[in-house]
A and B are shown apart, each in its own frame.
Chain A
Amino acid sequence: MGHSKLDLLQGTLDLMVLQTLASMGPLHGYGIARRIEQASGDAILLNQGTIYASLVRLQQRGWISAEWGTSDNNRKAKFYSITKRGRKQLTEDAAYWQRLSSVMDRVLALPGEEAEP
């Protein structure tokens, strides 16, 4: 592999977790970590343990809720689901990231010096 994996920017993991829960429904911590890894095509560097720091942050802000349940293969696990306030926050944050990334695209698309006549 020529390229190393991407480090996550501050705040991006929270948004990824919210989006994953919004699209997949209730999931346990391991499930969330795996979905994010799969969605990113294994391009991001994710210590699965950091998911739990993100989950506790989101829970304390009231954006997700948690309860214990049983997984498909009969293991007890804590399942997280997104709340109404979490969905609202997700809409706001996603719009922000889209704006930011389109600005970055435009700035980075400026021609380099050697391309100038």
Chain B
Amino acid sequence: MIDRLRQSLQRFLSLFRRAGLDQEHDAEVAAHLDLAIDENRKNGMSDEEARRQALIRLGGVAQTKENYRDYRSIAWLETPFRDFCFALRILRKSPGFCVFAILALALGIGFSSIVFSIFLRNAAVKFAPVWSSARWRFPCSYWSLQGSSFAALLPSPTSIPA
């Protein structure tokens, strides 16, 4: 159980050290091929045949690397993570655009929240059963008449009966 947890943690952490780990594995596969070729040559194969047999026994360089990566990290997390890093890199390359995009998003979200909070407040005044009961002295039409001003939207203290 602990070992499985440790494995999951290691797989997650490997997302942050991809380049180094990939490089190390590349070197390892290259060493594997060299060792296999050495042995095949010793058994009397020509250079070309030794290399060919080594590759066949390995099962392909690309397949080996892909298989290794699948087990080393979390495949379904790796692609989105890579996209995220790519996006960050691109944004860092053009800081002007980045600032503009962040400002546009911030202002957009800010204005939307303001407008919606006002709309919801207004709607609550109109539709909330308690507020539309007889105890609420200001009719809804008052709000629609005064709706253009923010101040008018706030219930004045006199509107609530003692």
Interface magnitude class on chain B: 20 to 34
Given known contacts A52-B64, A53-B68, A75-B38, is B11 in contact with A60 (CB within 8 Å)?
yes
Contact between chains at B35 and A71 (CB < 8 Å) = yes
Chain B residue with Cβ nearest A34: B39
Complex-state Cα separation, A77 to B25, whole angstroms: 11
A88 to chain B, nearest CB (A): 10
Contact between chains at A75 and B4 (CB < 8 Å) = no
A60-81 CB contacts (< 8 Å) to partner B: 60-63, 71, 73, 75-78
B15 to chain A, nearest CB (A): 13
Interface size on A, residues (CB 8 A): 25
Complex-state Cα separation, A72 to B10, whole angstroms: 32
Contact between chains at A63 and B3 (CB < 8 Å) = yes
Residues of B within 8 A of A2 (CB): none
Which of A48, A61, A76 is B31 in contact with, Cβ under 8 Å? A76
Contact between chains at B36 and A30 (CB < 8 Å) = yes
A99 interface residue (CB < 8 Å to B): no
Contact between chains at A61 and B6 (CB < 8 Å) = yes
A7 to chain B, nearest CB (A): 14
Residues of A within 8 A of B32 (CB): 28-30, 48, 77
B49 interface residue (CB < 8 Å to A): no
Complex-state Cα separation, A53 to B10, whole angstroms: 14
Chain A residue with Cβ nearest B4: A61
Given known contacts A30-B36, A49-B58, is B3 in contact with A61 (CB within 8 Å)?
yes
Contact between chains at A75 and B35 (CB < 8 Å) = yes
Residues of A within 8 A of B6 (CB): 60-62
Given known contacts A29-B28, A75-B35, is B3 in contact with A49 (CB within 8 Å)?
no
Chain B residue with Cβ nearest A53: B71
Contact between chains at A75 and B63 (CB < 8 Å) = no
B59 interface residue (CB < 8 Å to A): yes
Residues of A within 8 A of B60 (CB): 49
User: B32, B58, B63: which has the most chain A beta carbons within 10 Å?
Assistant: B32
Contact between chains at A49 and B59 (CB < 8 Å) = yes
A57 interface residue (CB < 8 Å to B): yes
Lowest 9 CB-CB distances: which A-B pairs, in order? Answer: A49-B64, A47-B59, A60-B10, A53-B71, A61-B3, A49-B59, A60-B7, A30-B35, A77-B31
Binding site for B on A (CB under 8 A): 28-31, 34, 47-50, 52-53, 56-57, 60-63, 71, 73, 75-78, 85, 89
